[in-house]
């Protein structure tokens, strides 16, 4: 039985229960003494093994059209709009530099991949949606080094490393393997190399996707720090406005422009690209905003609190709406 064949209530409750349960288990493990070192190791495994494997296999069989090339460009535009809006709001509120930097990063960096956007697109559109989500997210390494690092350096004290070293290190990092996997799968796709039938017969992508997602959300729970969540309510609301109103609106405008240009992103598979774009544009703050805030000596406690609250809002309100609208 596919997700689409389940009753509406089950389609809503099962993924939310899976995510919330995995995160809760991670929080419990954290209280039991499982530390940050274990979290980093597990997340590295998730990114370099199941996420890389799934990205490679899914895009290998995606019916390719030239319009798909626009997906990472649209992702970069939507992300830049979030960063720009965050910078304007931070300046308007006259936030201290460390707080402003954390606020801007959480407003711009979205959880597009395995632990949210890719997972939701997989639930809605199966492998074609997952493959297009991987295409959309392929801009991420470039955004990291050309957008987020300079923004963090602007607001923070910087690191001991020059920016060019951060750029080289990012592309040489094992965590960049999903981008290489996406490129490799796309190459086999364009060359017409058939994917082994056993992959579909044994539901390899489904098993790797669900298993990897459970582990990734568990690690998210391991890394959550729930102190000081009661402060900064206005900042939480403003980031939510950027994430769940402004960025989807920007994506909708881009989709509309593609329609007007005669490229409506209506895919021959079961996952229209315009739906994938809107789902990705509505995702919550990324954990990388917390990581970069720490790296550049910004207010990483604020970034962590915004990440927790924004993700909770997404799971409680936005994700059910997305599943109802597109499911």
In DSSP notation, 279-312 reads: HHHT--B-HHHHHHHHHTTS-HHHHHHHHHHHHH
pTM for the complete prediction? 0.80
pLDDT in tens, 61-78: 877 777 788 999 999 999
Mean pLDDT to the nearest integer, 136-151: 83
Residue range 266-287: average pLDDT? 83
Q: 232 versus 40: which is more confidently predicted?
A: 232
Between CA 10 and CA 124 the distance in angstroms is 13
Residues above pLDDT 90, as percent of the chain? 32
Confidence band (pLDDT; 50, 70, 90) for 221? confident
CB neighbours of 25 closer than 8 A, spacing ≥ 6? 218, 221
Average pLDDT over residues 133-153: 84
Q: Are 282 and 325 in contact (CB under 8 A)?
A: no
Mean pLDDT score, 205-223:
83
Which pLDDT does position 2 carry in this prediction? 46
Mean pLDDT, range 16-24, rounded to an integer? 84
Mean pLDDT over 128-143 rounds to 84
- The two tokens of residue 210 are 């669900």
pLDDT band at 38 (very low <50, low <70, confident <90, very high): confident
Q: What domains does the chain contain, in order, with CATH numbers?
A: 6-326 (1.20.1530.20)
**In the beta sheet, which residues pair with residue 285?**
110
Task: Identify the weakest region by mean pLDDT among 106-110, 226-230, 310-314.
Answer: 226-230
| Lowest-pLDDT choice from 9-13, 88-92, 135-139 | 9-13
- C-alpha torsion angle, residues 226, 230, 235, 241 (rounded to 10): 80
Between CA 247 and CA 238 the distance in angstroms is 12
Residue 109, both tokens? 């960096």
Per-residue pLDDT, 227: 64
CA distance 92 to 105: 16
- Taking residues 187-194, report their average pLDDT: 91
């Amino acid at each position: 039985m596919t997700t689409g064949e389940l009753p509406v209530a089950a389609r809503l409750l099962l993924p939310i229960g899976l995510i919330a349960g995995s995160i809760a288990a991670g929080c419990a493990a954290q209280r039991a003494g499982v530390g940050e070192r274990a979290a980093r190791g597990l997340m590295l495994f998730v990114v370099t093994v199941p996420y890389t494997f799934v990205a490679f296999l899914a895009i290998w069989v995606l019916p390719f059209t030239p319009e798909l090339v626009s997906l990472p460009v649209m992702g970069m535009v939507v992300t830049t709009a979030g960063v720009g809006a965050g910078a304007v709001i931070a300046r308007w509120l006259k936030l201290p530099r460390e707080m402003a930097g954390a606020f801007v990063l959480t407003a711009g960096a979205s959880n597009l991949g395995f632990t949210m956007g890719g997972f939701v697109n997989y639930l809605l559109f199966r492998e074609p949606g997952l493959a297009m989500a991987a295409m959309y997210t392929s801009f991420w390494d470039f955004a990291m080094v050309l957008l987020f690092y300079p923004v963090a350096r602007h607001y923070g004290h910087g690191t001991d490393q020059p920016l060019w070293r951060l750029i080289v290190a990012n592309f040489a990092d094992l965590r960049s393997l999903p981008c290489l996997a996406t490129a490799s799968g796309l190459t086999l796709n364009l060359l017409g190399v058939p994917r082994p039938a056993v992959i579909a017969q044994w539901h390899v992508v489904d098993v790797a996707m669900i298993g990897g997602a459970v582990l990734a959300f568990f690690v998210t729970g391991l890394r959550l720090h729930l102190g000081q969540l009661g402060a900064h309510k206005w900042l939480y609301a403003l980031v939510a406005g950027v994430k769940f109103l402004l960025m989807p609106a920007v994506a909708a405008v881009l989709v509309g422009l593609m329609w007007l240009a005669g490229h409506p992103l209506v895919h021959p598979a079961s996952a229209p690209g315009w739906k994938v774009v809107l789902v990705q544009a509505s995702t919550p703050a990324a954990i990388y905003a917390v990581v970069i805030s720490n790296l550049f000596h910004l207010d990483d406690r604020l970034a962590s609190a915004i990440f927790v609250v924004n993700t909770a809002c997404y799971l409680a309100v936005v994700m059910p709406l997305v599943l109802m609208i597109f499911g």
